[in-house]
C-alpha cells in the first residue's frame, strides 16, 4: 500500500470512513492495514515455498522405499 502522504484526497476519505467504522484513527488504521499486508505477503511466500518443496522430485532412497511398499505384481 502507498505511504500515508501518497494517498489522493479520495483515497484518504475512503480510508477515513473505513477507520471510523472500525473505531480507529486514520493513522492507526493505515498502520494496521500495512501490517496486515506485510503478514499476508510473508504467509503467501511460505505457502509458495511449501508448494515448491512438495512438488520436488523424491530422492532415490525415498523412491526405493515407496517401491518396496508396493505389492508384487
Answer yes or no: is 73 within a domain: no
Locate all alpha helices (DSSP H) within 4-73, ordered by sequence.
Answer: 9-22, 26-55, 60-68
Contacts of 29 (CB under 8 A, 6+ apart): 15, 18, 19, 22
Furthest CA-CA distance within the chain: 72
pTM, two decimal places:
0.61
Report the alpha-carbon distance of residue 34 to residue 61 in Å, rounded: 45
The verdict on residue 13 lying in a domain is yes
Total structural domains within the chain: 1
| 25-60 confidence digits (pLDDT tens) | 999 999 999 999 999 999 999 999 888 887 777 888
- Domain region containing 55: 4-68
The answer as to whether 60 is a domain residue is yes
Task: Residue 30: name the closest of 9, 2, 58 by CA.
Answer: 2
Q: How confident is the model at residue 3 (pLDDT cuts 50, 70, 90)?
A: low
Amino acid at each position: 500500500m502507498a505511504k500515508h502522504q501518497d494517498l489522493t484526497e479520495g483515497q484518504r476519505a475512503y480510508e477515513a470512513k473505513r477507520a471510523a467504522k472500525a473505531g480507529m484513527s486514520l493513522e492507526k488504521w493505515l498502520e494496521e492495514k500495512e501490517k496486515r499486508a506485510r503478514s499476508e505477503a510473508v504467509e503467501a511466500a511460505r505457502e509458495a515455498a511449501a508448494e515448491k518443496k512438495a512438488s520436488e522430485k523424491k530422492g532415490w532412497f525415498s523412491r526405493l522405499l515407496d517401491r518396496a511398499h508396493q505389492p508384487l505384481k
